[in-house]
Structure 1
């Protein structure tokens, strides 16, 4: 489904974010991308939906060379890929349902975009998406009245409503407490298992990655230094991914949770 072939990404300031990336990710896999901050994790997943353009190599998604897409083709391609951010990207002053309905805006005729009037079938799909993540009862509540975990589930429902083949998640639990993180991760796993949607997640929480993902991709200095099943990951492998700094990463995460 997704194939990186000798992919490189160099930013305009000369920073080489990715180099010599060769990966194949099949439909329905749950993949966690781990590594130090600045290792290239976010860049890797953001290249998949063309949020970042690659500099060299090829990136193929379902037999489509992503780098060759232009204009409407890029927008059409992105409809198949859901993106979940750490910051939720919700409109907090309106209802949960309205936030999910936003996923249909690109497909609306101009008059519906202006008036904000959605079809009955779109409203049903939005409610079904909320039901899948367990917050149907929050449909008519304003987003700013929800907890952080509930807001992340709204973002996930919004993504599900667009019926994606792939979900990219960029640090989706970074701002959540451990209990809420577990609930959100269970949602990701259920969606992956029940709907056969590929999930590729950039995540700092190593223990969570190992518990929920089927496959781990370790990135260090823009290169893949490990690619294998979660149960194959050893302490030695983690040391190679994190350059012996895993304890520092854990301490940093624990300190940040104090302020959640």
Structure 2
């Protein structure tokens, strides 16, 4: 279980990214976090694995106060949490399987780290992870020869190889075309349902969030303004999340685009 208790996050420049966040996420949920650019979505999920430190309140994962972890405790804690980025964070010049094997580096002995030699068991686990996302046949191909969707699935396989309890995904389909996005989202959904791994995803594509997540969290200006099931998301809810945030042309366009796209879903 992930629990935010009165969590605040203020950056050194004085910007408040999160304000009075109170939230519980149970194991096995598929949560989509939606909101305007700059609303605090990325900060919210990155606080969970200590990529960002909170400035006040408590953030508990299975009753462990994350902010109190130090050194090796943080590294052990992060082994339980997979992180998927929009940019994939892969090494393009090496093979797919070697990218997945990177997830085992923290567990290697010093001589294995120096030589880059992995165990047979680790190689089998890497191949199994690739099979789970449907790209086992690409195992020995260089990453730079893959499509964007295939690269994102490699990143997902790398995360699965570490056997996480939680997957955090920061805009995982933002750079993918609609067809590829659907394939990747089906992977996330299947993994969530069959492996009971919690998925917390920051996503701009509201219509995709409504289709795949079983819980929607709306963030506006660092505050949670909606928390409920996809079926409860109405035009009024979307206006509350996306509307009246800023008079800037960019935000007005994003609001209009979002409401237009999801009009058939609510």
**TM-score band, normalised by shorter chain:** over 0.9
Instruction: Specify whether residues 250 and 171 from structure 1 end up closer, same or farther in structure 2 by C-alpha distance, changes over 3 A only.
Output: farther
CA distance in 2, matches of 1:64, 1:113: 30
Q: What is residue 102 of structure 2 aligned with on the other side?
A: 102
Matched, 1:14 2:20: no
Given that 1:238 and 1:246 are in contact with CA atoms closer than 8 Å, whether structure 2 keeps it comes out as no
Given that 1:169 and 1:199 are in contact with CA atoms closer than 8 Å, whether structure 2 keeps it comes out as yes
Q: 1:167 deviation in Å?
A: 0.1
Q: What's the CA shift string for 1:45-103, capped at 9, x where partnerless?
A: 00000000000000000110000000000000000000000000000000000000000
Given that 1:171 and 1:201 are in contact with CA atoms closer than 8 Å, whether structure 2 keeps it comes out as yes
Q: What is residue 248 of structure 1 aligned with on the other side?
A: 254
**Which residues of 2 match residues 1-260 of structure 1 at below 5 A?**
1-243=1-243, 248-249=254-255, 251=257
Q: Cα RMSD over matched residues?
A: 1.3
Normalized against structure 1, the TM-score is what?
A: 0.95
Instruction: Specify whether residues 181 and 39 from structure 1 end up closer, same or farther in structure 2 by C-alpha distance, changes over 3 A only.
Output: same
Q: Which secondary structure state, in structure 1, belongs to the residue aligned with residue 6 of structure 2?
A: strand
Instruction: Specify whether residues 21 and 238 from structure 1 end up closer, same or farther in structure 2 by C-alpha distance, changes over 3 A only.
Output: same
CA distance in 2, matches of 1:10, 1:73: 24
Q: What's the CA shift string for 1:166-185, capped at 9, x where partnerless?
A: 00000000000000000000
CA distance in 1, matches of 2:42, 2:70: 22
Q: 1:248 deviation in Å?
A: 2.6
CA distance in 2, matches of 1:249, 1:79: 37
Given that 1:4 and 1:23 are in contact with CA atoms closer than 8 Å, whether structure 2 keeps it comes out as yes
Q: What's the CA shift string for 1:142-196, capped at 9, x where partnerless?
A: 0000000000000000000000000000000000000000000000000000000
Aligned length: 253
Q: Which secondary structure state, in structure 1, belongs to the residue aligned with residue 168 of structure 2?
A: strand
Given that 1:239 and 1:246 are in contact with CA atoms closer than 8 Å, whether structure 2 keeps it comes out as no
**After the TM superposition, which parts of structure 1 deviate over 3 Å for at least 4 consecutive aligned residues?**
244-247, 249-252
Q: Which runs of 5+ in 1 are unaligned?
A: 255-260
Given that 1:10 and 1:17 are in contact with CA atoms closer than 8 Å, whether structure 2 keeps it comes out as yes
Q: 1:247 deviation in Å?
A: 5.6
CA distance in 2, matches of 1:120, 1:235: 53
Q: Which runs of 5+ in 2 are unaligned?
A: 245-250, 261-266
Instruction: Specify whether residues 60 and 50 from structure 1 end up closer, same or farther in structure 2 by C-alpha distance, changes over 3 A only.
Output: same
CA distance in 2, matches of 1:248, 1:192: 29
